[in-house]
Amino acid sequence: MKLVMVNDCAFVGETILKYLPKDIEATHIKRSRGFWSKTFGIAHKIWKAKADIYHVHYLLQDCYLTSLFGKKPLIGHAHGSDLTNTLNRFPLGRLVKSNLKKCDKILVSTPDLVEIAQKFREDIEYLPNFADTELFYPKQSMAREGKSKVLIASGSNWPVKGTDIAIRALARLKGKVEVSIIDYGPDLEKTLRLAKTLDLKLKRLPKIPHQSLNTYFWNADVIIDQFKSGVFGLTSLEAIACGRPTITHISSKHKTYRNFPLKDVNTIERIIEIIENLPPKLWKAEYAYLKQNHDAEKIVHRILEIYKNLL
């Protein structure tokens, strides 16, 4: 079987390719955010590509071009902003709607996207993301005295990640925590200014390659992710896989998450409560959920079934 993977999202496509059987001949067509790369450059690569299956991440121009060039069977894989933000915006919204209708299969990476996509077709499938457990695996934390080391691991983005909520909560715990933040995200400067205003010291960590991110997780006692979307991001999956208790907003309205041990953490008071009274067995419960619902072997098996069914 020949597979062409187009674009990526948070290394989901790259991780899928890594875990596929070796007898699948796979090519990964990537692009940058530069004008040429995301327009004529990617179009030329897709046009030249020859495969049995085309798997495209995000329902944007890459997916539209793959369909336009008659590349089939075509899987469109939605990851969030393409359906939650772009869908109703002109002109890219038209591309998203076209892709939803024309792809042979639509996958979504979080359960909140199912209902949105089903307005355009019924056969939507939720395919959970999974962490690369060769990179992200449990390591015992160091015994420490004094302040707990907290890492804000997701990019600074107030409307999407709620980084401002995390900063305001941690500022009220500044006598008890030592906070680190990774230097990336559109609202990084706003976040730094807010922390300074609240007299919260932040240790700034440089953005590093994905394969090295595990070191940041292992050096922390607690990981902070997002407090807006209510669904699992890959950051949380990787942090839990590294053996660290992870605080993020998982909404109880999604039945998929009914067995997750820590739900509806999306306010300053709730974040403070959890950090001050961190359940001693929280990580074990989170990890058990991860193994049950985001297991790489099970998800890759389902992906292979999808590929074979389309062929």
Question: What are the boundaries of each domain within the chain?
Answer: 2-130+295-310, 148-293
Closest CA to 262 of 297, 225, 299, 210: 225
What is 148-293's CATH topology?
Rossmann fold (3.40.50)
pTM for the predicted model, two decimal places: 0.94
| Position 196, amino acid | K
Instruction: Check whether 143 has a pLDDT greater than 70.
Output: no
Task: Give DSSP secondary structure letters for 140-207.
Answer: PPPP--SSEEEEE-S---HHHH-HHHHHHHHHTTTTTEEEEEES-STTHHHHHHHHHHTT--EEEE--
| Distance, CA of 307 to CA of 199 (rounded, Å) | 53
Give the C-alpha separation, 192 to 187, whole Å: 9
Mean pLDDT, range 137-143, rounded to an integer: 85
Q: How far apart are CA 65 and CA 53, in angstroms?
A: 15
Predicted confidence (pLDDT) per residue in 114-135, tens digit: 999 999 999 999 999 999 999 9
Same fold, 2-130+295-310 and 148-293: yes
Q: Is 59:83 a contact under the CB 8 Å cutoff? A: yes
Under the banding of pLDDT at 50, 70 and 90, the label for residue 172 is: very high
- Mean pLDDT, all residues of the chain: 95
Q: State the CATH architecture for 2-130+295-310.
A: 3-Layer(aba) Sandwich (3.40)
Nearest C-alpha neighbor of 57 from the set 88, 36, 79, 72: 79
Q: pLDDT tens digits for 144-162?
A: 678 999 999 999 999 999 9
